[in-house]
Amino acid sequence: MLYFDHASGMLPDAFSIDTLCEMLRRFPANQEAVHRMAYDSRRAFEEAKKQLVMSLIGNSDYRAVAFSSGTAAISVLSNWKRLRNKSIATTKLEHPAVSHALKRAGAKCVYLKNDSCAGVEADCPESVGAVFIHHVQSELGRVQNADEIFSAFPGAIKIADTIQSAAKIPLPLSADILTVSGSKFGVPGTAALLVKKEYYSEIEALAEAGRAEYRSSRLIVPHFLAMAQVAAKRMENISETLAHIKTLQRLCRELAAEINVRCTIPEEFSSPWICHLSLDGKDGAVVTRLLSESDICVGSGSACSAETGEPSAALRAIGYGKKEAFSGLRISFSQTTEEEDVKKLFEVLEKTLKNY
């Protein structure tokens, strides 16, 4: 089986698996108990939060608030008093978890304009209390210059959805809050908000209230410890890894051109980890299922909305018609993806499109 849906959930590599197994062996106790093993788990957990912040941001002005998933991390913000019923600048390209959280917050969404390549413009017709935008668009792979966009909103709270960029590319360091999901770099079942110190106590209190009232999942400390260590390992090797991933991205684009398939986002604007294809009217979900029959897994869009029966909201937002907006195919890589894997994918994709 060849797997190219790492943007949905990255397959754990040997280091991730070994690290998680080690943490499960060393810290099996419920951290909320009162015995020594529980204390050891709590102490390791606090150190892991510091490690995660320093690995991904390198700035001790931030603190990590832990969650069981990226969706849970984003969802808790819908109860934050600083966002409740406020005007918030955002885009129509956000992940559904973000748009639904803003809706629950009763926010008045002020939508920033985007161009046909999914680039976001910072021009805003009114003042806002917060800005909540993606760094890497989860379906199309478009990278935004989030720091530049944030600079246009002095005084506003700045929240960056960095779930598709954490431990993969440099993060926007002007954000007040950043989102992280371990499942996107190989450690499922854990996530975090990286929060500036001035807001930390408020966000931690929201998270704790959710757990105390059994509205959110209890933390699995060994998973979080593994996420922190894997993030550190990813960042240690980031230059070497990015060189490999960029090679895969270029190869993907070359092979797409050879079979007359267009890449939706130009390479200079795209995350090297995601290559989104437009299939000229062919249904991306159908092609995804056909490829799966040949033991190749890709994505037909954002996994969270793949089975809704609706056209891609992201493609609609950048000007695609309703029929065209069904024709996307997302290819995403991990550090273990090889060039031969990409060549095999396009060999099968070419046959699949011919027989469509």
* Residue 306: per-residue pLDDT: 47
Judged by DSSP in three states, 168 sits in coil
Which residue, among 140, 202, 152, 144, has the nearest Cα to 177 in the 3D structure?
202
Q: Please, which contacts does 179-182 make with residues 24 or more away whose CB atoms are closer than 8 Å?
A: 179/70, 179/73, 179/74, 180/52, 180/56, 180/70, 180/73, 180/231, 181/69, 181/70, 181/73, 182/223, 182/224, 182/226, 182/227, 182/230, 182/231
Q: Which residue has the tokens 């360091």?
A: 173
Report the 10 Å Cβ neighbour count for 46. 11
Percentage of the chain with pLDDT > 70? Answer: 97
d(CA 285, CA 330): 10
By residue count, the chain amounts to 356
**Pairing mode, strands 274-278 and 191-196:** unpaired
Report the 10 Å Cβ neighbour count for 211. 17
d(CA 328, CA 105): 31
Residues 6+ apart with CB under 8 A from 253: 263, 267, 275
28: left (phi over 0), alpha (psi -120 to 50) or beta: alpha
- Give the mean pLDDT per block of 10 residues along the chain (356 residues): 97 98 94 88 96 97 96 96 96 96 96 96 89 98 97 96 98 98 96 98 93 76 97 97 98 98 98 97 94 96 55 95 94 98 98 94
| 3-state percent helix, strand, coil for the chain, nearest multiple of 5 | 45, 15, 40
**Pairing mode, strands 274-278 and 262-263:** antiparallel
Judged by DSSP in three states, 10 sits in coil
Judged by DSSP in three states, 48 sits in helix
* Residue 303: per-residue pLDDT: 45
Supply 333's token pair. 């890589």
* Residue 304: per-residue pLDDT: 47
Domains of the chain: 2-9+238-354 (3.90.1150.10), 14-236 (3.40.640.10)
Each residue's pLDDT tens digit, 82-107: 999 999 999 999 999 999 999 999 99
Residues 6+ apart with CB under 8 A from 147: 172, 173, 174
d(CA 223, CA 220): 6
- The radius of gyration computed from the CA coordinates of the chain, to the nearest angstrom, equals 20
d(CA 105, CA 85): 6
Q: How many CA atoms lie within 13 A of 141 on its CB side?
A: 32
- Tell me the H-state helices in the chain: 14-26, 36-56, 70-76, 96-104, 146-151, 197-212, 221-236, 238-258, 284-293, 313-317, 339-354
Cβ atoms of 7 and 299 within 8 Å: the answer is: yes
Structure pTM?
A: 0.95
Which residue, among 344, 6, 46, has the nearest Cα to 182 in the 3D structure?
6
Cβ atoms of 320 and 251 within 8 Å: the answer is: no
* Residue 308: per-residue pLDDT: 55
Each residue's pLDDT tens digit, 191-228: 999 999 999 999 999 999 888 776 777 788 999 999 99
H or E stretch covering 162: none
